Structure 1
Amino acid sequence: MQLRTLLTLVVGLIGTVVFVIVALVFQNNLNTYQAETSEHAVRVRAQALGSFLTRTLYEEWRQLEASAAEFSRADLPALRERLDALAGNPDKISWMGVASPEGRILASTGGLLEGQSVAERPWFQQGLAGPFAGDVHEAVLLARLLQNDTSEPLRFVDFSAPIVGADGQVMGVLGAHVNWRWVRNVAAEAARQLELDAFVVNREGTVILATAPIDEASAALPSFEAARRGVTSNFTETWGDGTAYHSFTVPNLTYADMPSFGWALVARLEESAFDLSEQSFQRQMWAAGAVLWFAVLVIFALVAGILIRPLRRLSAALLSQSRGEPTAYIREHRRTAESQVLSEALARFQASGPGGDSGSSG
């Protein structure tokens, strides 16, 4: 076996072992990176979804608060017309009304509940003291008055704010019932854009909003327990559908100075969401590594051939000289120390041997 072939095989074997070791280390680091990337992705998307949802509600709450301040300078007989204009889209604001300090509805959208008492309703009681935002609840007084095209009961989020007169006295309370279906649609659309599943949990630990089906087994997962305890956490869990997800818990959904609803958010991202890109990256890296390894091996074989060629010529000449066979002149090689030694030995051998010039006489 030629020296170049032997060296190439040895280098190839060593290179293969090194390549496999590096590949295994790379694969392990890639798996760690993939897990960290997934956790980061679900965390950032969950926080973005929570911020978007609460900011949307915050804008409605701030608008109602600003409207309450304007009502302090308005005549009460004109309230219904103004309320109809403020409520706008009935799919969003199902009802808006103004209650007297005693809790009787003075004016409302569509005239609903006018003259009735809401003194026992939380939105009125809290609204007397200051701006209020209340948790989702089923319709009570409006259940039979508002049209409901589905079998699902009407549910609302309550906003209210005091109407304060020029003398600083409370003249009444402006209240609004935000349709929960509208809130749910806002969350579902945002979750769809973020390619995320979202679940909102209230103070009692009940899932009040879900953008994907959920069963009792999934609602008992550690991520939901963390939400109920108000803890920010990352999880990798197998849900009731048998699929592994990366989950993140946002313990308190609120925005700026809006009163807290007592909601927590659990968001999940399928563990395999990044598999295609990861597999594509792995294939590219394996292909690039194999091409690089083959290129290095070829280059080594070429370089080794260039370095070994003089040694092969010198060793062949020495063998011929030792057999007494005539040898052609080979110029002195100084490319490497070994070729220089062999070149010098050949020169001395040729000068002293039978075929050398010094052995001939005239």
Structure 2
Amino acid sequence: MVLVVAATAVFVAKVVSDQAHEFQTTIEHKLVLRGSDAIALSFNTALMREWDSMHAVARSIGTASKDDINKFMDAVARTGGQVAWAGFAAPDGTIISGSNGYDVGKNVSSKRWFRDGIRVPSVDSITETATNALTGKMEYFLSLSTPVKGPDGQKIGVLVYRVRIAWVRSFLFEASKELGIDVVVQDINGDTVIDTRHESTPLPKSLTSSASLRSKSSGVFHLVDGKDGGTYAFAPDFVWNKLPNFGWRVFAVLRRDNISNDLPVLTQVTLATVAAAALCLLGVTLVFLKLLLRPVERLAEDAKSIANGKYVFPEEATSSQEAASLSSALAIIQSKLTPQRSERPPRSTPEATPEPHS
């Protein structure tokens, strides 16, 4: 009985522990998927504002004078701080207007943003390093570009926005802090552009391998296995369909400090409750067996005594129906055997042989 109760307790504890672990895993998966989707939504919303702003400026400068174009370029760089520099290049690649006059006269025909931007609206997939026009320091930029059309619809140049990677990084850091999800953004070459983790360690190879298998899937986030106990999600394209695909892929990592410790505590409490219940059940079972079997044991001893011819009147047992029946049966047997013993003649003893007289 003890083994049965113990085995039952172990089985229940194992089931509770497995269910709790499965529940926590499900919660973690939901957290990383919803958190990464929220970060992507915020990032795309912010980037779309700059994208729409660039197209609005491109439509305005198509018929504007040189002075008005210069004013537009200066205004873009002063608004919000997201765009470090805006420039307008002629069809031959020469910058004819730039924020604060920076890079005017420079030929950028070899730049990818210019070559793509003269044809269609584009985003340079590789971040470039350039000198900040205001601070003079080297910075990383994401270049947005689009053709500029004149009054007759002909292309008269390319408008470019240099969006600060530092702004993108700070934006993602803030979103990561609020949602408890770290993000690692890589460009088309696999180089890390942004990493919001406290320690920028290389991602597990198994994680990047799993992500490569999903490189042709849709832009939504999918769970991927890093084989290191972490919870990861991956999206092969970090931008919406409204923006050109510039090859940024993103890994979302659930921060361990974002996981509630309530569930392990609840599991421990549940297991302790199961153990206490098992001990109580075991105690009750032992007491019950003692109360049930002890009278039967005494009746068995009485039956043995009666069988040996001893006069024993069994006590009345009421602990169970079986004990009561056995007690009654023994009493009847004893009552029937008593008269027989009283009527039986006493055993005769052999007479002593008189000794001969001498």
TM-score (ref. length: structure 2): 0.72
Partner of 1:199: 184
Written as runs of structure 1 = structure 2, the 5 A alignment for 1:1-362 is 11-24=1-14, 26-27=16-17, 38=28, 41-72=31-62, 77-89=67-79, 91-140=81-130, 143=131, 145-148=133-136, 153-165=138-150, 167-212=152-197, 213-214=199-200, 218=202, 221-227=205-211, 231=215, 234-237=224-227, 245-269=230-254, 276-277=261-262, 279-301=264-286, 303-304=288-289, 323-324=310-311, 330=316, 336=321, 338-346=322-330, 348-349=332-333, 352=336, 354=338
| Separation (CA, whole Å) in 2 of partners of 1:236 and 1:161 | 39
Structure 1 residues 97-152: Cα deviation after superposition (integer angstroms, max 9, x where no partner): 33445544444332323454444433333233332212343345xx2744145xxx
DSSP-derived class of the 2:325 partner: helix
CA contact 2:211–2:224 (8 Å) conserved in 1: no
DSSP-derived class of the 2:125 partner: strand
Deviation, 1:158, is: 1.0
DSSP-derived class of the 2:100 partner: helix
DSSP-derived class of the 2:118 partner: helix
Q: Structure 1's 114 and 272: CA in aligned 2 closer, same or farther, altered over 3 A? A: closer
| Separation (CA, whole Å) in 2 of partners of 1:163 and 1:110 | 20
Give, as a single letter, the amino acid of the residue that structure 2 aligns with 1:78: D
Question: How much identity, in percent, do the aligned residues show?
Answer: 23
Give, as a single letter, the amino acid of the residue that structure 1 aligns with 2:235: V
Q: Structure 1's 220 and 12: CA in aligned 2 closer, same or farther, altered over 3 A? A: closer
Deviation, 1:271, is: 7.0
Q: Structure 1's 172 and 270: CA in aligned 2 closer, same or farther, altered over 3 A? A: closer
CA contact 2:182–2:253 (8 Å) conserved in 1: yes
| Separation (CA, whole Å) in 1 of partners of 2:230 and 2:266 | 21
Give the alignment's Cα RMSD to 1 decimal.
4.1
Count, aligned residues? 332
DSSP-derived class of the 2:159 partner: strand
Gaps of 5+ in 2: 216-221, 344-358
Q: Structure 1's 252 and 13: CA in aligned 2 closer, same or farther, altered over 3 A? A: same
Structure 1 residues 262-314: Cα deviation after superposition (integer angstroms, max 9, x where no partner): 11223434679759555424321221111221232244345556655875786
Q: Structure 1's 103 and 326: CA in aligned 2 closer, same or farther, altered over 3 A? A: closer
CA contact 1:65–1:161 (8 Å) conserved in 2: yes
Deviation, 1:181, is: 0.9
CA contact 2:33–2:223 (8 Å) conserved in 1: no
Q: Structure 1's 290 and 252: CA in aligned 2 closer, same or farther, altered over 3 A? A: same
Give, as a single letter, the amino acid of the residue that structure 2 aligns with 1:147: T
Structure 1 residues 19-69: Cα deviation after superposition (integer angstroms, max 9, x where no partner): 224434554565566556555544554444344434432332133224433
Give, as a single letter, the amino acid of the residue that structure 2 aligns with 1:289: V
Partner of 2:348: none
| Separation (CA, whole Å) in 2 of partners of 1:289 and 1:176 | 64
Q: Structure 1's 181 and 349: CA in aligned 2 closer, same or farther, altered over 3 A? A: same
| Separation (CA, whole Å) in 1 of partners of 2:76 and 2:267 | 56
Q: Structure 1's 59 and 351: CA in aligned 2 closer, same or farther, altered over 3 A? A: farther
| Separation (CA, whole Å) in 2 of partners of 1:195 and 1:40 | 12
DSSP-derived class of the 2:225 partner: strand
Q: Structure 1's 310 and 90: CA in aligned 2 closer, same or farther, altered over 3 A? A: same
CA contact 1:320–1:327 (8 Å) conserved in 2: no
Give, as a single letter, the amino acid of the residue that structure 1 aligns with 2:124: G
CA contact 1:93–1:179 (8 Å) conserved in 2: yes
Deviation, 1:339, is: 3.4
Deviation, 1:193, is: 3.0
| Separation (CA, whole Å) in 2 of partners of 1:298 and 1:159 | 76
